[in-house]
Amino acid sequence: MRKAVTIGSRGSSLALIQAELAAARIKEVNPHLDVNIVKISTKADRDGDVLLDRIGGVGVFVKELEEALIDGRIDLAVHSLKDMPTEIPPGLCLAAATERQDPRDVLISRAGKLAELPTGSRIGTGSFRRAVQLAARRPDLKAEGIRGNVDTRIRKVLSGEFDAVILAAAALIRLGWEDKISEYLPLEHFLPAVGQGAMGIEIRAEDEEIAEIVSSINHLPTWQSVAAERAFLSALGGGCRAPIAALGTVSGGTLRIEGMASNKSGSRSLRAAEEGDAAQPQAVGMKLAQRLLSMGASEFIEEVKAG
């Protein structure tokens, strides 16, 4: 019987908190295990001031962790699930998702809520998805690229470099900084990134012992929701950097997923929802993708791919 498990994590405060949450859950269910956390530096962390599109975009937060998994240096990696590409390297797999935290986006500003920001205010976000949804609500504001950890982004607001930033609610909640939130942005206008608010556990595909250990902390409704969202994203072919959003929710045996795709400017946007059997989440997500594609979403995806 295995006596120890090594978790790989990025070195940011948020990433380590998430790894510690996963470690605590594993230890709770498997008290005989010695659970260790190893910090692994990623290119995205090292190039913290460079916009993601310039350092590779998709997968930049997970690549080094995946290499450590393949090399056997760690037994599992804990990711913010929204950072995980839908295409996982051969030999690895997404094995579990912990219970989802609040999936919404939030605004942090020096001037109150979104409706109260003066015309021309500079809003920091590194996300096409957030930028296009912001443009739909407040076209008079300026969405500008921003990098750095959560605390760095907040400091840029406090220092006046930006008038506000849009971040994931889950990040602020896990860091214990809910008091810094100016407004929770409504899902009807700001649909979240695929997987936002959930933590994903990645392992070596053939490691049955680790698979059994992490299955003990898998939260089924979250797993079903994010499986649908990731199938939706994969079927659209958009990747993590395209202006695509989705949120799945499970009630009883029914899974409902709402999705959005937009062109780069945000001037054209498509949004729809589908429901289906929660036990077949990928099928529900793919059905929604096909619906958006039939509505013209493929044009948006090609626009992003073309740069």
Q: Where are the domains of the chain?
A: 1-99+198-218, 105-184, 219-307
Catalytic machinery residues: 83
Rounded Cα gap, residues 30 and 265, in angstroms: 49
Mean pLDDT of 257-286: 94
d(C-alpha 65, C-alpha 71), whole Å: 10
Q: What is the CATH code of the structural domain delimited by 219-307?
A: 3.30.160.40
**Better-predicted residue by pLDDT, 260 or 51:** 260
Q: What is the pLDDT of residues 183-199, one digit of tens each?
A: 999 999 999 999 999 99
Task: State pLDDT tens for residues 85-131.
Answer: 999 999 999 999 999 999 999 999 999 999 999 999 999 998 889 99
Using CB atoms within 10 Å of the CB of residue 194, give its burial: 0 to 12 exposed, 13 to 18 middle, 19+ buried: buried
* Mean pLDDT within 77-83: 94
1-99+198-218 folds as: D-Maltodextrin-Binding Protein; domain 2 (3.40.190)
Given the candidates 3.40.50.2300, 3.40.190.10, 3.30.2230.10, 3.50.30.30, the CATH classification of the domain at 105-184 is 3.40.190.10
**Do 105-184 and 219-307 share a fold?**
no
Higher pLDDT, 80 or 263: 80
